[in-house]
Chain A
């Protein structure tokens, strides 16, 4: 049957050098779609939940979705799925650019990397040909230089690489592709570094993926494009200001965490907003492959360097969360995150935590080597980002493993604003009750893109909910989590969902793969994916108490601003959420597993 899957998976063992071509398991693909869902199912089936994340036993799956590379909206995405060294649980980090689509054009749904090379290597893929080549001369290179150096040898390739942070196994290391796109979260770059794998270059002679039914896909695509064009968020808001447009609305709602969440309203927010970024630094938009929205920013740094600009999250994290309103410094620090290959959310959040430790006197001037971690210091955010990328001092090395380990080291675990050891993003869950459920129950730890309830609770999409109440939020959270799992598994960008809904995704997937999903059927696949991630975490040793928010959110009320006095009601919503999911004590019951056709492995 004709389908938008390529039907082929490459298994590359770096210990033995063996490269095997396997058929895609279509039964598994039917149950989990692709990308995040299928990658997790493969990892779970292969028994990876119990291995040491940075050992040769861990596996690294680079996986596209069935819609990646097809003529579908925002169809340029791929996922990196592995066991996270940061959280010890499932990692699936999404990235755009063109690399994922090229992998597919070259004929591969996924590549599974196993083992550990004796010395630094890279993998070169040219259509059917896959080779493991020495990479010593690329070690130490920053992302831009690395991309250019590989292109000298493989002129038509798209380059995926780790930076120095991944090489020295920083638990905040990202995997970069096309210079400045990142599979950013959960330390996936450290897993790549632990395998002595510096890069994967992909060259493809094709540039399209044939779907199951080209006419149907055309029709579905037409309907989607109209929705994207008619929707003011996808046609105007995101292209004009990028995700940075959120700075002002989140701050004016009083849920813009400031100084490591000690406050939640930042007076200088407009200085670091999407509006200011556009007026002062924007050169042009950036589009991922096959994207019609183009939320990416290209900015000028220090008046001369042109590079990828920050999204909302780093603007917040280096901005209000560090008490800093120097936008050029944020652009620069964000650029260094890309260059060194680090998570541009967790790195600045860890700097914010270090600043609070400095405020408390736990980190001293002696630790700081001439660059005190003072609130609002533009020099400090740039310099400490670089130091973390280089692991150049004992403190920088500690910080490079994230706020949880840093704060525990200094005897102040409560200062780490993380869930499952991963830093939470830019919305204060004390003033937005639903997003707290997303944070607490996200299978990959503190994260907003696993059920973006900010949409209904703040932005009024698809309808306006009261952000201050708990009622109905558990059910909303479940649906958002399940639909997100579907989008992530199809190979599309989550931002398409500002304009598209489950019926559009079902139409695209059916045209691509020949399935016959209706909305409920599709959401059930999403639910299955959410549950298998949970099973993976259970096997990895997750405990019910890992579904929790930092104490600050439940015990310290927001001190000032529009949301003054609020705390998270997670104690009320969490049991409701488990009920909605059919879980008991944080894990699926036997009935739930049976209903979803899942089998728990021992």
Chain B
């Protein structure tokens, strides 16, 4: 399973969290498509806590965290 966590505005009309079968997805972008998330709405993609790109591979047991542009301090 791959765990996908959505945050901030990406949660609108979606769940906060999805568990998806790993075999259906090759890269993070496949997951965006599956969840109907336009790639340009994701400003930060973390895979297991590290910054990654949409074309980077995903595998079983990965945790993805997707954020729109956020800032603060």
Q: A residues within 8 Å of B by Cβ?
A: 231-234, 236-238, 240-246, 248-249, 252-254, 270, 273-275, 295, 311-312, 448-449, 452, 454-455, 458-461, 464, 466-468, 494-495, 498, 561-563
What are 7 A-to-B residue pairs whose CB atoms are below 8 Å?
A232-B69, A236-B68, A236-B69, A249-B67, A253-B49, A460-B44, A498-B71
A275 touches B8 (CB 8 A): yes
Given A232-B43, A249-B44, A275-B11, A461–B49 Cβ distance below 8 Å?
A: no
A-B pairs with lowest CB-CB distance, top 10: A562-B49, A243-B72, A233-B71, A232-B69, A252-B65, A246-B72, A237-B70, A245-B70, A498-B71, A254-B49
Distance in angstroms from B25 CB to nearest chain A CB is 19
B34: CB under 8 A from chain A? no
Given A254-B49, A464-B51, A562-B49, A312–B72 Cβ distance below 8 Å?
A: yes
Which of B46, B65, B68, B72 is A242 in contact with, Cβ under 8 Å? B72
Distance in angstroms from A386 CB to nearest chain B CB is 27
B27-59 CB mask vs A (1 if < 8 Å, else 0) is 000000000000000011010111100000000
Q: B residues within 8 Å of A by Cβ?
A: 5, 7-9, 11, 16, 43-44, 46, 48-51, 65, 67-73
A452 touches B73 (CB 8 A): yes
Query: Could you say which residues of chain A place their CB within 8 Å of the CB of B68?
Result: 232, 236-237
- Since A236-B68, A460-B51 are in contact, a sample of 5 more A-B pairs with Cβ atoms closer than 8 Å, ordered by chain A residue number, is A241-B8, A245-B70, A249-B7, A449-B73, A460-B43
A252 touches B46 (CB 8 A): yes
For chains A and B in complex, what number of residue pairs have CB atoms within 8 angstroms? 95
Distance in angstroms from A81 CB to nearest chain B CB is 20
What is the CA–CA distance of A413 and B48 in the complex, to the nearest angstrom? 34
What is the CA–CA distance of A249 and B71 in the complex, to the nearest angstrom? 10
Given A241-B8, A563-B49, A248–B73 Cβ distance below 8 Å?
A: no
Which of A234, A254, A273, A562 is B71 in contact with, Cβ under 8 Å? A234
Given A252-B65, A253-B46, A562-B50, A448–B72 Cβ distance below 8 Å?
A: no
Given A253-B46, A562-B48, A238–B8 Cβ distance below 8 Å?
A: no
Distance in angstroms from A185 CB to nearest chain B CB is 13
A245 touches B8 (CB 8 A): yes
A494 touches B73 (CB 8 A): yes
A241 touches B73 (CB 8 A): no
Distance in angstroms from A466 CB to nearest chain B CB is 8
B50 touches A236 (CB 8 A): no
